[in-house]
Structure formats: structure tokens, C-alpha cells
Amino acid sequence: MRFFLAIFALVLASPSAALAAARTDLRLALWAKGEGIGSPRVLTLRCDPAGGTLPKPLGACRRLDRLAAPFAPVPAGSACSDVFSGPQVGIVTGSFRGRHVRAVFTRSDSCQTERWSRVSFLFPGVS
């Protein structure tokens, strides 16, 4: 039993296990006219190695890499203008840098639109 535990610990400590744990594997559900209106366009993005159905996945992975917290919500207490920029909705689920992510993007006010704009490359044809 100890032998198997030692092997398991070595596997977990190996660089390939660390890389697998830090992997990015995302599902993008996009609605051009608002969530629930029609069927969403569903795309995928994987990084390291880059792939999926999102156009130009390598470029998207590189752009995501440059962002500190691309899926973070708008900070509480932010002052946002009540300016509606469109009905578009994007929902991102999966793992980013090895962590579970579920983020909803809208364009319902100035803060949400700014947040959308930072990752708009994930929403081709919907922005």
C-alpha cells in the first residue's frame, strides 16, 4: 500500500501533473439576442496545446495569458453608468489555469460592457 501511495505522490508532484492541473479548457455559450432567445452558439477553447472550435485558438490563449483575472466579476461598490450596450450574453465555463470558472458576461451597464470588452475575442460574431 505504501508503494502505491509513494507512486501516487510522485505522479502528483511531476511537472506533467502540474501542467495538467493548470490547464485551460473552456466552453463558451454565446447568445447574440440575449440569453434564452434562440439557441446559443457554443465554442470551445483549450490551451497548452491550443485547440478547440474558437477561431484562432492560439491567439486567444495568448491574449488570455496576458490578462490577470479575465473572468473576475465587477468589484462590489463599483460606480457604473446605467448605459445598456446590447442584449448579448456570454457564459464561460470550464477550467482556466487549472481553476474552475463560471462567468456570465453581459452588456447591461458600463462596467459590464468594459468587462465584456476585455474578453470580446472569446465572443466572435456576437460583439
Is residue 16's pLDDT more than 90? no
Q: Where are the domains of the chain?
A: 23-122
Is residue 23's pLDDT more than 70? yes
Which phi and psi (to 5°) does residue 29 adopt? -105, 120
Global confidence as pTM? 0.79
- pLDDT tens for residues 35-61? 888 899 999 999 999 999 999 999 999
The domain 23-122: what is its CATH number? 3.30.350
The CA distance from 115 to 107, in Å, is 8
Question: Which 8-state DSSP code applies to residue 121?
Answer: G
Q: What is the mean pLDDT of the chain?
A: 85
- pLDDT tens for residues 106-125? 999 999 999 999 999 999 98
Instruction: Convert 49-63 to b/e letters by CB count within 10 Å (16 or more is b).
Output: ebebebeebeebbee
